[in-house]
Structure 1
Amino acid sequence: MRHDLRRPETAKTKADLDKNDSGLYEAIKRHMELEKQKFPLRINRQTVIYVAREKCTKEYAKWYLENRMNVRKDERGCV
């Protein structure tokens, strides 16, 4: 007796990753245009954020590290 190993036609198939949804391409394109206006700012050795040109300073990096990432140094310079 031989069993039929084919999947039934009603079985779910994976989505095709080569094709995007109708509005996804346009959303990606708009986001890429916004990112072109920003510049990389290194916060620490493993963190880089994209900011406007006016905020691309060491003072903003220090503020971001203390306020957004909650990393504060004591009077000895230790974290």
Structure 2
Amino acid sequence: MSDAKTGPDRFYFDIALSTSAVQLHGLLDTVDADRILFGSDYPYAPAFAIDALLQQKTPREFLVSLLKKHALMEILK
């Protein structure tokens, strides 16, 4: 089991086209940020998709806003 916990530290992870804050936070919980890369899908990812992703809020801000939105919806029911 110890190999499973230390194994991810030997890899680099590309998050190009990964659009979920949950995915990124799960990865950050597993490996150091210096093991996370962005952009190796170019030119496979269309430029507009990359631009849209870069214009989004940071993943933590996105996650908090999403949680607040769903909490508000529950209150309004």
TM-score of Structure 1 vs Structure 2, range by shorter chain: under 0.3
Give the TM-score of the pair, scaled to structure 2. 0.24
Give the TM-score of the pair, scaled to structure 1. 0.23
Q: Which has more radius of gyration? A: 1
Pick 1 or 2: higher relative contact order, CA cutoff 8 A, min separation 6: 2
Q: Which has the higher helix share?
A: 2
